[in-house]
């Protein structure tokens, strides 16, 4: 049995980790059984990141490498029958959401004053003072440095939201009235898209991207349908 090490449910989601939710969605779409162990910090992760998996004696981190391993072990159950053009579209969308929108989620949660209190509570609320204030402040500063080095953190909050809105509107156009991005069944790209897009819709995030996504029938329907069908065991009250 595969064990997924992930952050615990929060903000109405099975996990507040975009990539953790991507991995769990992939496993459920592909009907691969797994157990979850919840962690507060990735101190035991092979790459210091969440999520990671254990399968027998193998421990593996980074969802890209994890999914390639799972496809090798269980077969590529989600991409079968796709044309080269469909695979190329899926690759481009996955890169867009993972390399851009996911960073914007991180920036918005950690580095905007209106969202930092909720992020601090979810990430560090179980710690006693003065550890909570000290560790959360240091973690926030590391995020600020990482965002600046990447480049996204050099923009103003409004500029960052506008960058993300362009991505979200492109996704909305590609989805149209389809249940999933490519056709009538979940594909590998839908794991990435759902895991990241839903982070703007369900949690109490206050930003322009969330306002737009929640008011989009296309985007809200896409996320709600996946939650209802593939995560029926999840308690939305958590």
Give domain limits for the chain.
2-230
Q: Per CATH, which fold does 2-230 belong to?
A: Glutathione S-transferase Yfyf (Class Pi); Chain A, domain 2 (1.20.1050)
Q: What's the mean pLDDT in 16-30? A: 98
Mean pLDDT, the chain, integer: 95
The model's pTM:
0.95
CB 17 within 8 A of CB 61: no
| pLDDT for position 238 | 55
* 104-161 confidence digits (pLDDT tens): 999 999 999 999 999 999 988 888 788 888 999 999 999 999 999 999 999 999 999 9
**pLDDT given at position 236:** 67
Place of tokens 């580095």: 111
**CA–CA separation, 171 and 175 (whole Å):** 6
- pLDDT value, residue 78: 98
Higher pLDDT, residue 131 or 195: 195
Distances 74 to 33, 66, 68, 159 between C-alpha atoms, Å: 11, 12, 10, 42
Q: Which of 92-96, 132-136, 138-142, 162-166 has the lowest mean pLDDT?
A: 132-136
- For every residue of the chain, which 3-state class applies, written as one string? CEEEEECCCECCECCCCHHHHHHHHHHHHCCCCEEEEECCCCCCCCCCCCCEEEECCEEEECHHHHHHHHHHHHCCCCCCCCCHHHHHHHHHHHHHHHHHHHHHHHHHHHHCCCCHHHHHHHHHCCCCCCHHHHHHHHHHHHHHHHHHHHCHHHCCHHHHHHHHHHHHHHHHHHHCCCCCCCCCCCCHHHHHHHHHHHHHHCCCCCCHHHHHHHHCHHHHHHHHHHHHHHCCCCCCCC
In angstroms, rounded to a whole number, what is the distance separating the alpha carbons of residues 229 and 9? 18
Q: CA 191 → CA 28, 67, 97, 181, 194, distances in Å? A: 9, 11, 11, 10, 5
């Amino acid at each position: 049995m595969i064990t997924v090490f992930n952050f615990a449910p929060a903000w109405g989601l099975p996990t507040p980790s975009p990539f953790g939710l991507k991995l769990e969605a992939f496993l459920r779409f592909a009907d691969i059984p797994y157990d979850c162990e919840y962690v507060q910090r990735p101190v035991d992760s092979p790459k210091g990141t969440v999520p990671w998996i254990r399968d027998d004696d193998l421990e593996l981190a980074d969802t890209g490498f994890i999914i390639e391993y799972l496809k090798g072990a269980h077969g590529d159950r989600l991409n079968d029958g796709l044309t080269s053009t469909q695979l190329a579209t899926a690759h481009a969308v996955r890169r867009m959401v993972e390399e851009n929108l996911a960073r914007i989620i991180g920036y918005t949660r950690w580095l905007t004053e209106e969202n930092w209190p909720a992020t601090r509570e979810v990430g560090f609320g179980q710690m006693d003072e003065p550890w909570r204030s000290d560790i959360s402040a240091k973690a926030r500063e590391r995020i600020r440095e990482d965002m600046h080095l990447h480049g996204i953190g050099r923009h103003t909050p409004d500029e960052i939201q506008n960058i993300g809105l362009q991505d979200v509107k492109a996704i909305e156009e590609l989805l149209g009235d389809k249940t999933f991005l490519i056709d009538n069944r979940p594909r590998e790209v839908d794991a990435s898209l759902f895991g990241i897009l839903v982070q703007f819709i369900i949690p109490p995030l206050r930003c322009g991207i969330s306002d737009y996504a929640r008011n989009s029938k296309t985007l809200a329907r896409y996320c709600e349908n996946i939650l209802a069908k593939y995560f029926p065991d999840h308690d939305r009250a958590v």
